[in-house]
Amino acid sequence: MTTSAPSPRASRRALLAGSVGNFIEWYEFGVYGYFATVIAARFFTPEGGSEIEALVKTYASFALAFFFRPVGAALFGRLGDRFGRRPVLILVISLMTGATTLIGALPTYADVGVLAPWLLTFLRVLQGLSAGGEFGGAVSVMTEFAPPGRRGLYGSWQSFTVALGLLGGAGVAALLATVLSTEELNSWGWRLPFLLTLPLGLGALWLRLRLDETPAFRAERAAVRPPPRAVAAAIALGAARIMGWAAAGYTFLVVLPSYLQSSLDATFQQALVATVLANLGFALTIVPAGWLSDRVGRRPVMLAGALLVTALALPLLGLLQDEGTPNGAKGAAVCLAGAVVGLMAGPGPTMLAEMFPTTVRYTGLGLAYALSNAVFSGSAGLIITETIERTGNVDIPAYYAAATCAVSALALLPSRKPGKPWKPGGSREPRGPRGRRCG
């Protein structure tokens, strides 16, 4: 069944409504990562506990939220494929906003003892559920409202607002670290970034209340669904294709501050500056990569990014570890690290969307993304911190990013076109401006 092309106004409105939720989600996850050492001290350090033990527990809570993402993707994806993208996206942004705001108001270990980490973990679980439902719906809305031949460009805005969210979180953290004393930051200043989510979330909710349902969903909601085995196979392939993006992205963009502080003795301010540069490089390449994928295909652009991370991860980390490396070169290294991840993140959302027909798209692409992120993003801080602690090898972040990107490169090689993972029911592959397949 064919659908009429959406109006330019409807496309722009969908792009904005889909993007804003991603911004808030990743702003919050970035803030949690940037303040990991502060949160560890406030919530996970009873008297006599070590700092590294508290940091590991903080990242365990971080990982737990990611492992609830697949649950949220399955739950909200099922609702979104059955009842529509719009009502579910309204629900998940409300849940994310409420949980994040409450983190900023939580009592600490010093106030309520062992109850504090449990309350924090409960709110992290709620965030994981809502984040799991966010990605599939947002990407479905962006790509289903996209003009012909521009799915890659529109889908790339999901990743671009991830970069903006991480940059926003890093910027707020850096500002607070500059204007507040260490004592003020550790006492109450860390709460402010979480409380800021409330007005942001209310703005996102207003935008989504004005959003129309996608033309593709209205036209195909009664279409025949593909067999579960075919859906599961496509989910597994999609997760493998983006695991490098998930792992390298979190290693370079979120885990980096704590790694620089705990392993390379950097100050909090130095670590945040490095993170801002990495996220800046990430942001600069995402939209161009999505635009390029509309012309040469999704997989060639993503494959280039995966191979570059595999080859460059260890040399770039070596520059950071070398005390003789000028600060300018170190800044360029972290910026380049973010930029090559952006080559995977730009086409990634649209590639996943094109692997599933409309009737299972919200669920399928959401689960592929959530599963990959649960295993390879959510566990990144825990794996890297614990492995460095046990082995003393400070090269672990580079090995982790390179290994996962190598696997993604292999998964991107199969010749099966991502737009036709099964018959019948596969969504028709979009054509580029000159009739090229975009998959």
| Per-residue confidence in pLDDT tens, the chain, 439 aa | 445 677 888 888 899 998 888 888 878 877 877 787 788 778 876 654 556 666 666 667 666 777 888 999 999 999 999 999 999 999 999 999 999 999 999 998 888 888 888 888 899 889 889 988 999 999 999 999 998 889 999 999 999 997 888 788 878 888 888 898 888 988 899 999 999 999 999 999 999 999 989 988 988 877 788 899 999 999 999 999 999 999 998 888 877 767 777 777 777 777 778 878 888 899 999 999 999 999 999 999 999 999 999 999 999 888 888 888 888 888 888 899 999 999 999 999 999 999 999 999 999 999 999 999 888 887 777 788 788 888 888 899 899 999 999 999 999 986 555 444 444 333 444 444 444 444 4
Any idea what the CATH number is for the domain that residue 324 is in? 1.20.1250.20
Separation between Cα atoms, residue 338 and residue 269, nearest integer Å: 19
pTM of the model: 0.82
Q: Is residue 261 part of a domain?
A: yes
Instruction: Check residue 187 and report its DSSP letter.
Output: I
Q: Is residue 423 part of a domain?
A: no
277 vs 27, 38, 282, CA distance in Å? 16, 22, 9
Q: Is residue 50 part of a domain?
A: yes
Instruction: Check residue 114 and report its DSSP letter.
Output: T
DSSP states of 347-411? THHHHHHTTS-HHHHHHHHHHHHHHHHHHHTTTHHHHHHHHHHHH--TTHHHHHHHHHHHHHHHH
- 210 burial type by CB count under 10 A (0-12 exposed, 13-18 middle, 19+ buried): exposed
Angle (nearest 5°) at CA 122 between 52 and 360? 110
Instruction: Check residue 185 and report its DSSP letter.
Output: I
According to the model, what pLDDT value does residue 51 have? 62
Q: Is residue 422 part of a domain?
A: no
Q: Is residue 130 part of a domain?
A: yes
Question: What range defines the domain where residue 384 resides?
Answer: 9-411
Structural domain count, the chain:
1
Q: Is residue 4 part of a domain?
A: no
Q: Is residue 376 part of a domain?
A: yes
Q: Is residue 417 part of a domain?
A: no
Residue position matching structure tokens 């979330």 = 201
